[in-house]
Amino acid sequence: MKIKFLLTALLFSVIGFSQSVNDYKAVIIPLRYDFVKTDNQYRLATRTKSNLLKAGFNAFYINEEIPAELNDRCQLLYVDVKKEGGFLVTKLFVELKDCYGKEIYTSEIGKSKEKDYEIAYREALDGAFVSVNSLHYKYSGNLVAAPVTRVNTVASLPVVATAAVATTAAVNTVAAPVADISDPNLLYAQPTENGYQLIDKTPKVVMKLFKTSRSDSFIAIKDTVQGTLNAKDNQWYFEYYQNDKLVSEKVTVKF
């Protein structure tokens, strides 16, 4: 008899709340944007942080240690810089999103006609931040309202998967692994209503985690593959079945 996890179709509809940038405590900056090839290429991440600080925001790179009072990542904004096509003109704009990827603010487009990439990106980014500066950011002290998540369709897990979770729950809980923040594949955990979503430094959602009865074991979904994320030997492992064989992939996660 083949042992397989049933692929689960999860469709989430999020009811949004009107939020202002002033309701968020700080901004998280990725090290790389989609239109560049390496971390902080053309000093874009550095320039973004400099502009955010100038606009009054607390700002941190995604791989930085942040103060304990900022541990709730849904009280933070996540910045992204987008490039718009243009003939002989570099065009950039800034997006500020919440922890669910919902856009809270989009800047005006900054432009540059310079041919040198580093100069062009600097001028265009500074131009985009003119509208960000005009927000006159000041933290309001208001708590961000948590979106309500509705699960429209959830396929039931088969008995095999349920039994596996029950068996796992019977084992003694092990200490949570300590993340190696120097790992280039490090993922960051953002809380959701039923668990976490794991994002990379771009930031992009790589995996969704759903809580079980154990703090060291989650039901995990990556693309169309469902399995479990388990802590063992001071590491996290994403485990699933492929062609009737158990696959175990090491995952570095910072909770």
**pLDDT single digits (tens) 110-119:** 999 999 999 9
206 or 2, higher pLDDT:
206
Question: pLDDT band for position 85 (50/70/90)?
Answer: confident
pTM, rounded to two decimals: 0.58
Give the model's pLDDT for residue 18: 57
Nearest to 134 by CA among 79, 54, 76, 77: 54
pLDDT of 177 higher than 50: yes
Averaged pLDDT score across all residues of the chain? 81
The predicted-structure confidence for 197-230, as pLDDT tens digits, reads as follows 998 888 888 999 998 888 889 999 998 888 999 9
Give 253's contacts (C-beta < 8 A, 6+ positions apart). Answer: 177, 179, 186, 187, 188, 189, 198, 229, 236
Instruction: Please report, for residues 64, 158, 195, 216, 249, the alpha-carbon distance to residue 210 in angstroms, rounded to integers and kept in the order given.
Output: 26, 16, 5, 11, 18
pLDDT confidence of residue 125 = 97
* C-alpha closest to that of 66 among 29, 116, 109: 29
Instruction: Check: CB of residue 146 under 8 Å from CB of residue 15.
Output: no
How high is the pLDDT of residue 129? 97
pLDDT of residue 174: 52
Coil, helix or strand for 196? strand
Listed residue (235, 252, 231, 253) closest to 174, CA to CA? 231
Q: How far apart are CA 109 and CA 106, in angstroms?
A: 9
Q: Could you tell me the pLDDT band of residue 185, with boundaries at 50, 70 and 90?
A: confident
Bridge partners for 45 per DSSP: none
Query: Is the pLDDT at 123 greater than 60, yes or no?
Result: yes
Contact (Cβ atoms closer than 8 angstroms) between residue 30 and residue 40: no
Q: Which range, 4-13, 31-40, 65-74, 116-125, has the best average confidence (pLDDT)?
A: 116-125
Question: Domains plus CATH for the chain?
Answer: 17-133 (3.30.160), 148-254 (no CATH)
Residue 203: asked if its preceding bond is cis (omega within 30°), the reply is yes
Q: Quick one: pLDDT band at residue 72, thresholds 50, 70, 90? A: confident
* Range list of β-strands (E), 167-232: 187-191, 195-199, 205-211, 217-222, 225-232
> Which phi and psi (to 5°) does residue 181 adopt?
-70, -10
Q: What is the pLDDT of residue 169?
A: 42
Phi, psi angles (nearest 5°) of residue 153: -140, 125
| Band (132; pLDDT cuts 50, 70, 90) | very high
Give the number of other Cβ atoms within 10 Å of residue 56's Cβ. Answer: 16
Strand-pairing partners, residue 249, are 238
CB-CB contact of 171 with 238 (8 Å): no
